Amino acid sequence: MKRKIAAIFAADIAGYSRLVAEDEEETLRRLASYRLVIDDFIAKASGRIFNTAGDAVLAEFPSAVEAVRCAIDIQESLRTRNMAYPPSRQMSFRIGITIGDVVERDGDLLGDGVNIAARLEGLAEVGGICVSRAVHEQVANKLSVQFADIGAQEVKNIPTPVHAYMVAMRREDGTYATPQVKKVAKAAPAPNWMWPLVVGVVSVVAIGVGGFLYFTKLETAQVTSSPATSIAAAPAPGPIAAPSPGPTSTMAAKAAAPMPTSSPTQMAAATPMPIPSPSTASPGKIAVEAVPFIGERQRAFLGNEYAAAGDYKAYALNIGGFFGTALNQPTEEAARNGAVDQCQRRADAAQSPRRCELYAVGNKVVYSHGAPPMPPQPWFRHDAITERAFVPKDLPMVREQARTRLENIYVQAAKSRSVALGPGGQYFWALGATSVDDAARRSLESCGAFAGSACMTVVVDDVFVVPIPTKLRANGFFHAATNPSIVADGRDEVVRKLGDATGWNAVAVGTAGRPGLGLKAADEQTAINGALADCAKHDSDCHVIAIGPFTVGPMN
């Protein structure tokens, strides 16, 4: 562990639970999209995200000026994006920033600096920024930013009040909003007349408890013939399996992040027992088939060389598929550091932005994120009617930069390879796998961990394996069972009819939400025409909302 001074940035979504409860799928999709914006701004400002949980983001910056400038850019960018939604569905962040002394451990940061940043985030307005006095002193004369001094604020679990400032955010007309000071409620002091009553009650209780303990001691002393009772130690843990799949926060994030109900932490809370420390080696082998992101060769290594190595060993990985190993080390600390360092060097050499984390220490899995969300198998199907040669410029929902990278790297790589696409335009590829199934699994796992929800295999080797719309613009994943454009009592039938439909398929709806389907067509236009004609039988003003696995809209 090492200490350092850093500018700590904490962001969280206001009213996130409500947004998820109203429309979970749409909220997770937008969160993934907004996280791309946030991650991009943080990277450009030389920041580093060191932790995410659910909808929260924690990052460090070498400069308070860069942290505040980055926060302002994020809020202004997200404000523009929110203008496309009604006020009740807008997704706005609060941001808190402080400068503090922190401890770095396995890439994560701990300490008062992190805690205070989180508390400042709670003080910030919706769509606003709240900073500590230390940050204000560093930034006041360096940025053209207006501040409102809100004074010393008492916050939870921080012993001394935190002097805070609100950043005045710019309005659409160029003026600055005046931040509203949050009042921290204080408990009213007890009236003077209550103190004698309190003292009297406490005295009576103390006398009663003392008498009870005295007579209990007498009774216990009389039981001398019984053997001493020993508390049985908790049995040693058995073989540790890899974390079971569960809802993700997301790497993600940060999708919503409920923990699996059978997590070791919750079991320990229900049944008090000593929790094994990370240094406690567990018998047995790691469930190598459950280790995410890596290829079959690495799975074989874990099942053979790693399993046979001595006690002090560790294995690290990141969601990009990079890994690091340290075997037969003199101490556990050396094994931990060696595995993470090796993994991070490999990731840095390949310019991977993903942080390496410990997966296993000894034979114990310590990876805390669980299994990434995955779609049901099969992960892809070949359909000669819809398959066509992969051309990066035709990949929907991704930015132009992604298409360029695919052209320069993916297209030139050897088989077996695959590209997975997320519901918010996230993408990951796997190259040089032992089989196309291995490539599909790895790309889906990495994409799912990044997106916080299941992704879809769109490319295998040199072909698109899903229908790619060309007549309308793909803008999301289509899920008939939850699509709000389709009237509720018509969704089940759409799901059923699409379940075994090969070829080109399209869905249209009218003003009443009655669906029309164009199924098993030989080409995209025929599917569109069929859906519109079917919809016109039950509804009016019909338009196409889905082609293949995508929701669609007009071409820009």
Over residues 112-138, the pLDDT tens digits come to 889 999 999 999 999 999 999 999 999
**Confidence grade of residue 350 (pLDDT, cut at 50, 70, 90):** confident
| 203: pLDDT strictly greater than 60 | no
Residues of the chain with CATH 3.30.70.1230: 2-167
**Tokens, residue 551:** 């929701």
| 90: pLDDT strictly greater than 80 | yes
Which of 94-108, 194-208, 321-335, 362-376 has the least mean pLDDT? 194-208
| 191: pLDDT strictly greater than 60 | no
Interior/surface letters 293-322, b for 16+ CB within 10 angstroms, e for the rest: bbbeebbebbbeebeebeebbbbbbbbbbb
Q: What's the mean pLDDT in 334-356?
A: 88
Interior/surface letters 134-155, b for 16+ CB within 10 angstroms, e for the rest: bbbebbeeeeebbbbebeebeb
CATH topology of domain 2-167: Alpha-Beta Plaits (3.30.70)
| 356: pLDDT strictly greater than 70 | yes
For the chain, the farthest-separated pair of C-alpha atoms sits apart, in whole angstroms, at 93
**Confidence grade of residue 265 (pLDDT, cut at 50, 70, 90):** very low
- The β-bridge relationship of strands 418-421 and 147-153 is unpaired
Distance CA 342, CA 188 (A): 56
Q: What's the mean pLDDT in 91-101?
A: 94
| 229: pLDDT strictly greater than 70 | no
Which of 183-197, 221-235, 271-285 has the least mean pLDDT? 221-235
Q: What's the mean pLDDT in 403-417?
A: 90
Q: What's the mean pLDDT in 459-476?
A: 95
* pLDDT recorded at residue 330: 92
Q: Using the 8-state DSSP alphabet, how is residue 227 labeled? A: P
**Confidence grade of residue 143 (pLDDT, cut at 50, 70, 90):** confident
Distance CA 306, CA 314 (A): 9
Whose structure tokens read 């320990």?
268
Distance CA 313, CA 356 (A): 16
| 329: pLDDT strictly greater than 80 | yes
Percent of the chain with pLDDT over 90: 53
SS3 for 247-311 is: CCCCEEEECCCCCCCCCHHHHHHHCCCCCCCCCCCCCCCCCHHHCCCCCHHHHHHHHHHHHHCCC
Distance CA 135, CA 55 (A): 24
In the chain, count of helices (H) and strands (E)? 14, 23
Half-sphere exposure for 198 (CA within 13 Å, toward CB): 6
* pLDDT recorded at residue 181: 53
Whose structure tokens read 């874990």?
302
Distance CA 507, CA 548 (A): 9
- Other beta carbons less than 10 A from residue 274's beta carbon: 9
H/E element holding 519? strand 515-521
Distance CA 162, CA 229 (A): 51
For the ranges 25-34, 450-459, 480-489, 521-530, the one whose mean pLDDT is highest? 521-530
Closest CA relative to residue 250, chosen from 122, 117, 428, 372 = 372
User: Cis omega (within 30 of 0) on the bond before 292?
Assistant: no
Question: Which pTM was predicted?
Answer: 0.52
Q: What's the mean pLDDT in 63-67?
A: 94
Distance CA 434, CA 381 (A): 18
* pLDDT recorded at residue 263: 30
**Confidence grade of residue 461 (pLDDT, cut at 50, 70, 90):** very high
Q: What's the mean pLDDT in 178-194?
A: 47
Distance CA 553, CA 240 (A): 48
Question: Do residues 326 and 342 make contact, with C-beta atoms less than 8 angstroms apart?
Answer: yes
* pLDDT recorded at residue 57: 92
**Confidence grade of residue 450 (pLDDT, cut at 50, 70, 90):** confident
**Confidence grade of residue 244 (pLDDT, cut at 50, 70, 90):** very low
Strand segments, DSSP code E, in 14-66 are: 48-53, 56-61
* pLDDT recorded at residue 1: 67
> To the nearest 10°, the Cα dihedral for 375, 378, 380, 382?
-160
Cα dihedral sign for 409, 410, 415, 416? positive
| 39: pLDDT strictly greater than 70 | yes
* pLDDT recorded at residue 170: 67
Q: Using the 8-state DSSP alphabet, how is residue 499 labeled? A: T
* pLDDT recorded at residue 190: 43
Whose structure tokens read 């809020």?
75
**Tokens, residue 243:** 């974390």
Whose structure tokens read 């909220």?
27
- The β-bridge relationship of strands 162-167 and 129-132 is antiparallel
Region of 321 please: left (phi>0), alpha (psi -120 to 50) or beta: left
* pLDDT recorded at residue 521: 96
**Confidence grade of residue 452 (pLDDT, cut at 50, 70, 90):** confident
Q: What's the mean pLDDT in 424-451?
A: 92
* pLDDT recorded at residue 347: 86
Packing angle of the helix pair 24-44, 64-82 (nearest 10 deg): 150
